[in-house]
Amino acid sequence: MTRPYVRALQEIDELQVAVAGGKGAHLGGLSRIEGIPVPDGFCVTTDAFRRIMAEVPSIDDRLDQLSRSDPDDRAAISALSAQIRRAIEQVVIPGDLAAEITGALAQFGEQAAYAVRSSATAEDLPTASFAGQQDTYLNIVGPTAVLRHVSRCWASLFTERAVTYRRRNGIDHRTVHMAVVVQRMVFAQAAGILFTADPVTGNRNVATVDAGFGLGEALVSGLVNPDVFKVRRGEIVEKAIAAKPRAVHALPAGGTREVAIDSQRQRVPALTDAQAVRLVGLGRRIEAHFGCPQDIEWCLIDDGFQIVQSRPITTLFPVPEAGDRENHVYVSVGHQQMMTDALKPLGLSMWRLTAMVPMSEAGGRLFVDVTRRLASPASRTGLLDLMGRGDPLVRDALETVLDRDDFVPSLPDADSGGPPAAPASAPVETDPTLVTGLVERSRTSVAALERDIRTKAGPTLFDFLLEAFEEHKRILGDPLSMRVIMAGMEATWWLNDKLGEWLGEKNAADTLTLSAPGNVTSEMGLALLDVADVIRPHPEVVAFLEDVEDEDFLDDLAELAGGTEAREAVEAYLGRYGMRCVGEIDITRPRWRERPTTLVPVILDHVRNFEPGAAERRFEQGRHRAREKEQDLLSRLRDLPDGNRKADEAKRMIDRVRTFIGYREYPKYDIVSRFFVYKQALLREAGRLVRSHVLRDKEDAFYLTFQEFHDVSRSGQVDERLIQQRKDAFRSYHDLTPPRVLTSDGEAVTGAYRRDDLPAGALIGLPVSTGTVEGRARVVLDMTEADLETGDILVTAHTDPSWSPLFVGISGLVTEVGGLMTHGAVIAREYGLPAVVGVEQATRLIRDGQRIRVHGADGYVEILSA
């Protein structure tokens, strides 16, 4: 065909999305794969859609209204989108365009039955499927009916669900266009969906076939449950045959209808095992052609398959590239760092360059390959014990993988793939000067970094940073620092284990560590209470802050009564903690110093909810409770057989934990302090490249790796297409949930707590801070939107150190991610907050405003109000 508005499917390939839309481009690609049967047809191109849209009255004004609409205002979107659809359908198709479509029909059979299918340019893409957002019409007979349904497909670009989906995903309505696929109708005996990777677990080696009788519409619409076949390496490994009481069949004169299936046939498989395996073989060829797992629509006719659609499966979490065909097991870094959001490319590469262990990247997240440590019996036990103490779900997931005898083969200890184990270090003395010495060494090193980096620019800056990263790792990996951290953690474990054994005390160390000295993160939370004390006496300042939007607001404070003092207090706080922010392991995230308005709502909450001097009182109360707990425990221990020895041992461990546990938070403070220095220098360099017209925007550098940024600085050239691709990919990663444990097969292995001692309906998690509390749940996904009152229980996905200022006003904590020694748990114990972490889907299962009870010692949450 050489018509300007119509192309045969064989003339199209998967790269022509702009012409044929996602569905049309993929069908064109499918039609080119040898041995893959695709129904004949053609595509009405996006040029035809543009021509029709140019005829729609007032379309620009209507699209402007739609773009300004609130994506949550369903009534407004419904009304506006319905107006646009009606206007499109009322446009008369011009004669030459209609003639092209009817001419194509004549070539394939004018009175044959056709499927008329929408194909949007933002549909069936590797990063977003848009499945079900536009319309498909089956068994359409005759040119007049086909033309009418082509118009309906054009209009379906503006269905309410399609409009809402684009608004939520930040896609401009004007950038999306609609092609229409017209294909010979397939009168299927059976139909369904083939996923070339397991859509639930993500396993790339397990294909799933859903099958039902008649047309696939019965499955898509949820009319019946499908038969399900799971196929691995050419064998059925699992099969479930459903009762299929109804099917959808085509009518001779056009259209479809539901029909009842004879009761004796309802549980007959829609496919034989051999057919399911053969279908998966076709799917593997399609997957190999497109280069990624596919969601494939198929039909069965007389023991032969027809493929009517294939699209990427966009919900699978990507697999790290290993460079070999061996099995690998990966553990999420984000779950250990309490930040499971996607990182931008510069953030990923900077964390990898400064990390102490090699890391792999997938889906905008980082993972550590633990395969060799799992394979070696000597290192396996230590790894599982460490992971289990931090996050039992990770340990359980790793044990699940190990139970599969063929996945991680056991290696001799000498073949564990890592350096020989170092001899155990002698324990450090319980000496507070060890901590002060480490802190001073860190401060001196960061100050030298700040001084030396000021004069660096261009390629010289990147060479300097590579040297700075070595100093970064030297400080972070200081053996003494590691020994001090482990001394505090081991003392905590000893106290919990021994006091549980001797006295029946659960998590006694939680109270013993209240207001431990030297914890920079808990001090940060309390210090913001002091800032609120400065601001509270000045009503003009409070009123001004309530309306602040500009990040330069501190400059305006001097004009207000009390404003100078308020500014000095905020500036002093930012001077100490301004390098922090939510998601701070990603260097590209805006820091408090860059976006101080982030802190304003928290400061105002503190002004309203606390009395002057609250920080000092909170700290002293915690210290008093810890001292009382110590005296009580020691007294009870002395009453036991061999009590004096036990009390002496416990006293040594209590002194040890209070000396060292606060330092646990300091290395992270050192890291983010350095990151802010690196970032400021890199942004200065990005600014230079903007002024030189190399980069369009400073933050475009965030979508380059460190090495790529270095190359751009040296060459003065940048690939803008690469930056746009990285932006699109980063946007797509937002909707992906990273697993705690991931295999090289792509399987997201989910661990379980494996407890049966909980009340009915309780939400299970990991106990990290003792105590029981009831209160109002406040489900907060963004720290800047927190609206907390004293006594509320914070429920969120994860908390890194930047959330600590919120902790001083709440009564309990529930998170979806976390472990015994992650930051949220440590600070909850410091503040005496009952806390349960690792509660799967807590932010969905608990509604904002519900009353809940948090059992911090036993690790579960009860929902008290419906």
| 802: Cβ contacts below 8 Å, ≥ 6 apart | 580, 581, 582, 583, 584, 592, 783
Nearest to 351 by CA among 373, 329, 366: 366
Distance separating alpha carbons of residues 697 and 12, to the nearest angstrom: 36
How far is Cα 281 from Cα 286, in angstroms, rounded to an integer? 9
Distances (CA, A) of 69 to 81, 165, 176, 196, 637: 11, 13, 17, 38, 67
Catalytic residue selected from 177, 328, 823, 855: 823
Residues 751 and 401: beta-carbon distance below 8 Å: no
Amino acid letter, residue 280: V
3-class DSSP assignment, residue 531 = helix
Question: What is the C-alpha separation between 723 and 697, in angstroms, rounded?
Answer: 11
CA dist 634 and 630 (Å) reads 6
Cα 89–Cα 95–Cα 97 angle in degrees, nearest 5: 75
DSSP 430-471: --HHHHHHHHHHHHHHHHHHHHHHTT--THHHHHHHHHHHHH
**What are the phi and psi torsion angles at 142 (to 5°)?**
95, 145
Beta bridge partners of 748: 742
Beta bridge partner(s), residue 207: 231
Give catalytic status of residue 823 as yes or no. Answer: yes
Q: Which residues contact 739 (CB under 8 A, 6 or more apart)?
A: 202, 317, 332, 397, 748, 749, 750
Q: d(Cα 325, Cα 302) in Å, to the nearest integer?
A: 39
For β-strands 360-362 and 766-769, DSSP reports them as unpaired
| Residue found by looking up tokens 């746009």 in the block | 724
Distance CA 609, CA 605 (A): 6
Burial of 108: CB neighbours in 10 Å, binned 0-12, 13-18, 19+: middle
φ, ψ of residue 123 in degrees (nearest 5) = -125, 145
User: Which of the 8 DSSP states describes residue 487?
Assistant: H
By the 8 A CB rule, do 185 and 161 touch? no
Say how many C-beta atoms besides its own lie within 10 A of residue 415's C-beta. 10
Using CA atoms, how far apart are residues 736 and 341, in angstroms rounded to an integer?
9
Count other C-beta atoms under 10 Å from residue 231's C-beta.
26
Please give the positions annotated as active site.
Answer: 823
